[in-house]
């Protein structure tokens, strides 16, 4: 079934518009329904076979909506419109207009490092890595601008073993619960510079870079640096070492502290500072 615009274009080109057999359509609908059930199951962790054992797939990505909270507080990170629709065109495409640093997204090394990799230059092997999840939720309950410190990393290793070379280290501060309170609750204020939320301390970030050679770090908040940061030390210090950051991670409490693998689905925009990414954890 083709829309009028597609049929007209095919006619001008001397091509007969394809038709869809009703039986084929019903079969396709049944297949789509089965696939839809599988997809619905995938919205929560599902079992996947790996090396003879069952592993779980966790989606660490927020659904990207036009009102997702922004760092600056205007909550206008993006806008969308319908470019083509089924009724007039026979198919559906949206057009989006948004800043790269929005939603669950990557901060590429070149976001703060002029000579560092842009998102399209990051080696693909850096986007699949062992995942280490460092929990500072207890500390963050009493201090909204709590930071991951070297002591937290040492304590993690005493309990879970050495952080592997080439790992991705994520901070679980429990801040995701703030999303239920609305955008200002998640920001800890109305927008920069009125922000309060946990992040990484610069000493811990650089320790991970220099002592463990990680590929990147991630947070369940709006920024790698804590909300009250005035110097953005982690952005200026860690990213230019050709390591990336992921902000606004979700559901880290469902992922094991050690043993999972993270997959970062970053789009290689031309000269991109990063961008919205689908982040999955398997394990």
pLDDT in tens, 127-171: 999 999 999 999 999 999 999 999 999 999 999 999 999 999 999
Please give the average per-residue pLDDT across 192-210, as a whole number.
Answer: 97
Q: Does some domain include residue 52?
A: no
pLDDT at 19 over 60: no
Q: Does some domain include residue 47?
A: no
What does the angle CA 131 – CA 188 – CA 101 come to, to the nearest 5 degrees? 55
Q: Quickly tell me which residue has 């927008």 as its tokens.
A: 191
Same domain, 137 and 15: no
Residue 51: what pLDDT?
Answer: 53
Q: How many domains in the chain?
A: 2
Beta bridge partners of 147: 199
Read off the pTM. 0.82
**What confidence tier does 35 reach under pLDDT thresholds 50, 70, 90?**
very low
Cα–chain-centroid distance for residue 117?
Answer: 18
Q: Does some domain include residue 51?
A: no
Q: Does some domain include residue 96?
A: no
Question: What residues make up the domain containing 241?
Answer: 105-282
85: its two tokens: 């629709």
Beta bridge partners of 199: 147
What does the angle CA 195 – CA 201 – CA 206 come to, to the nearest 5 degrees? 140
Same domain, 23 and 147: no
Same domain, 247 and 168: yes
Same domain, 266 and 138: yes
pLDDT at 6 over 60: no
């Amino acid at each position: 079934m083709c829309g009028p615009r597609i049929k007209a274009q095919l006619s001008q080109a001397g091509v007969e518009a394809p038709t869809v057999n009703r039986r084929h359509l019903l079969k396709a609908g049944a297949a789509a329904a089965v696939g839809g059930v599988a997809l619905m199951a995938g919205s929560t962790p599902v079992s996947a076979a790996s090396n003879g054992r069952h592993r779980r797939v966790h989606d660490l990505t927020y659904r990207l909506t036009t009102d997702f909270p922004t760092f600056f507080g205007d909550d206008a990170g993006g806008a969308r419109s319908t470019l083509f629709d089924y009724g007039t065109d026979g198919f559906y495409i949206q057009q989006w207009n948004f800043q790269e640093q929005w939603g669950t997204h990557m901060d590429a090394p070149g976001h703060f490092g002029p000579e560092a990799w842009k998102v399209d230059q990051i080696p693909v092997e850096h986007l699949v890595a062992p995942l280490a999840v460092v929990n500072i939720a207890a500390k963050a309950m009493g201090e909204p601008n709590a930071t991951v410190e070297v002591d937290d990393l040492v304590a993690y290793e005493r309990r879970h073993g050495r952080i592997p070379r080439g790992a991705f280290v994520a901070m679980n501060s429990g801040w995701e619960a703030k999303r239920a309170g609305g955008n200002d609750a998640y920001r800890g204020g109305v927008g920069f510079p009125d922000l309060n939320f946990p992040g990484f301390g610069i000493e811990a970030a650089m320790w991970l870079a220099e002592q463990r050679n990680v590929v990147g770090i991630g947070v369940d908040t709006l920024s790698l640096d804590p909300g009250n940061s005035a110097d953005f030390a982690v952005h200026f210090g860690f990213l230019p070492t050709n390591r990336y950051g992921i902000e606004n991670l979700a559901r880290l409490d469902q992922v094991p502290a050690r043993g999972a693998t993270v997959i970062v689905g970053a789009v290689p925009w031309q000269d991109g500072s990063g961008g919205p990414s689908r982040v999955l954890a398997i394990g």
